[in-house]
């Protein structure tokens, strides 16, 4: 017979987290219950604390210290300066020059100025200055004058000529030539060897290669080549001076082109360009330099050939010397040639110290720049390109 035991249901297990939270809340409540609480209400605003202040009376001011009265001392009366007599008074001095100046020329004077110099009839001598005489003619003239002088006897020592120093290569070449020309006795027991003398116009390199010279002089020359030039060597390396505009051959005169003035043997002008020649020359040379530089950088042969006429530009400068405007009056037919003169005027048409008398009625100084460029050919082709610049002051 089998027995069956009844199966009892197991009790459900409690969650440990809930037990832990229960005991934690219990401990916190007990802890907070034993803490002392303040008597005042936490929500009530704090009371104002009043401080008592006691006002003290102001101290009485100290009595003022009275200084002892000093006896009055009578000052001596200053003597009045006597008024100067009317004859001793200085005349009034004028600091600034007067507006009206006396331009009258004094009689029997030997001094002239630009203000009072004028000519009744203007003439111009067209040409260029002659070149200076060559140095050879001067030396020949000196020799002639020395020959014409009578010989004079002087009781002095005869001048001794000091030999000029020669380079070591030439010295060794002379020694080798002298040794070759002098007869040498052959050694006994040896046949006469054919002596081969160096050539008369042989170069030092050939003599070194044939063994006639040693290489000591060449080493010194190499050292001298590596050393930089100093002193007079720098002057010797400078290029020779070239002929300027004032040393060109031709008839003596002025290179200015003035078609409205009668030609003559001498130049007498009243024009602005002649009166203010240094000012015009400064501006003209500066513009011409910039014109040459721009033409060499930008122009081609096609641009030069395309220029059929003269280009004219008017430049307007104020009294301070600043450029205020440029106007093209005539064109050459080549845009590049016209642009070259415009660029040159923009960079060179100015001056730091222009004369105030050179201004026109509108208060500006007017310059006229007229440029022409031509190409010259010969049998071989293009020979040169010549640029002309004429400058006038209106």
Q: Is 339 exposed, middle or buried (0-12, 13-18, 19+ CB in 10 A)?
A: middle
355: left (phi over 0), alpha (psi -120 to 50) or beta: beta
Task: Name 368's bridge partners.
Answer: 314, 392
Most distant pair of Cα atoms in the chain: their distance: 189
Look at the pTM and tell me if it is higher than 0.75: no
| Residues 367/312, Cβ–Cβ less than 8 Å | no
User: What is the arithmetic mean of pLDDT over 346-363?
Assistant: 90
Task: Decide which of 184 and 358 is more confident.
Answer: 358
Task: Decide which of 47 and 60 is more confident.
Answer: 60
CB-based contacts of 176: which residues, under 8 Å, 6+ apart? 198, 207, 212, 213
Q: Which range has the worst mean pLDDT, 147-151, 294-298, 360-364?
A: 147-151
Residue indicated by tokens 């030609």: 263
Q: How far is CA 335 from CA 33, 287, 294, 309, in A?
A: 109, 18, 13, 12
User: What is the arithmetic mean of pLDDT over 272-288?
Assistant: 84
- Give the pLDDT confidence score for residue 243 in this predicted structure: 47
- Give the pLDDT confidence score for residue 342 in this predicted structure: 95
Give me the numbers of helices (H) and strands (E) for the chain, helices first please: 10, 6
- Give the pLDDT confidence score for residue 128 in this predicted structure: 59
Element at 290 (helix H, strand E): helix 277-298
For residues 325 and 345, give the distance between their C-alpha atoms in angstroms, rounded to a whole number.
10
pLDDT one-digit tens code per residue, 239-260: 554 444 444 555 666 666 667 7
Place 332 in a pLDDT band, splitting at 50, 70 and 90: very high
| Domain residue limits, the chain | 272-393
- Residue-averaged pLDDT of the chain: 70
> 272-393 maps to which CATH number?
3.30.1150
pLDDT one-digit tens code per residue, 137-196: 555 555 555 555 544 444 444 444 444 454 554 555 556 555 544 544 544 444 444 455
For residues 193 and 189, give the distance between their C-alpha atoms in angstroms, rounded to a whole number.
12
CB-based contacts of 294: which residues, under 8 Å, 6+ apart? 340, 343, 344
Cβ atoms within 10 Å of 334's Cβ, excluding its own:
20
Q: Which of 4-8, 97-101, 388-392 has the highest mean pLDDT?
A: 388-392
| Residues 306/343, Cβ–Cβ less than 8 Å | no
Task: Name 372's bridge partners.
Answer: 388
User: What is the arithmetic mean of pLDDT over 212-231?
Assistant: 58
- Give the pLDDT confidence score for residue 122 in this predicted structure: 72
Q: What does 78-121 look like in DSSP terms, one character per residue?
A: PPPPPPPPTTTSPPPPP-SPPSS---PPPTT-----TTT---SS
Residue 316 dihedral angles phi and psi, to the nearest 5°: -115, 120
Place 285 in a pLDDT band, splitting at 50, 70 and 90: very high
């Amino acid at each position: 017979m089998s027995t069956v035991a009844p199966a009892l249901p197991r009790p459900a297990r409690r969650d440990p987290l809930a037990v832990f939270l229960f005991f934690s809340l219990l401990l916190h409540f007990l802890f907070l219950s034993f803490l002392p609480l303040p008597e005042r209400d936490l929500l009530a605003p704090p009371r104002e604390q009043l401080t008592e202040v006691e006002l003290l009376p102001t101290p009485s001011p100290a009595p003022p210290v009275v200084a002892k009265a000093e006896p009055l001392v009578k000052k001596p009366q200053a003597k009045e300066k006597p008024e100067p007599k009317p004859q001793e008074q200085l005349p009034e001095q004028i600091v600034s020059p007067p507006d009206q100046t006396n331009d009258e020329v004094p009689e029997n004077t030997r001094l002239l100025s630009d203000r009072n110099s004028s000519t009744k009839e203007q003439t111009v001598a067209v040409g260029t200055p002659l070149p200076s005489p060559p140095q050879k003619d001067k030396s020949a003239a000196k020799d002639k004058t020395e020959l014409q002088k009578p010989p004079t006897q002087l009781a002095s020592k005869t001048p001794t000529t000091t030999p000029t120093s020669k380079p070591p290569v030439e010295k060794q070449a002379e020694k080798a030539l002298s040794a070759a020309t002098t007869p040498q006795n052959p050694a006994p027991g040896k046949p006469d060897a054919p002596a081969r003398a160096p050539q008369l116009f042989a170069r030092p390199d050939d003599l070194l290669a044939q063994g006639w010279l040693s290489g000591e002089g060449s080493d010194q020359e190499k050292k001298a080549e590596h050393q930089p030039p100093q002193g007079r060597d720098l002057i010797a390396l400078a290029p020779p001076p070239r002929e300027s505009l004032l040393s060109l051959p031709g008839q003596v005169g002025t290179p200015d082109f003035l078609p409205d003035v009668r030609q003559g043997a001498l130049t007498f002008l009243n024009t602005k360009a002649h009166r203010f020649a240094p000012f015009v020359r400064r501006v003209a040379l500066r513009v011409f330099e910039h014109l040459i530089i721009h033409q060499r950088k930008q122009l081609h042969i096609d641009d030069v050939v395309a220029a059929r006429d003269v280009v004219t530009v008017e430049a307007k400068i104020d009294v301070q010397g600043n450029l205020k405007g440029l106007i093209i009056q005539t064109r050459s037919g080549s845009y590049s040639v016209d642009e070259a003169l415009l660029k040159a005027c923009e960079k060179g048409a100015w001056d730091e110290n222009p004369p105030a008398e050179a201004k026109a009625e509108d208060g500006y100084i007017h310059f006229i720049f007229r440029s022409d460029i031509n190409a010259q050919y010969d049998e071989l082709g293009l020979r040169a390109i010549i640029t002309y610049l004429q400058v006038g002051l209106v």
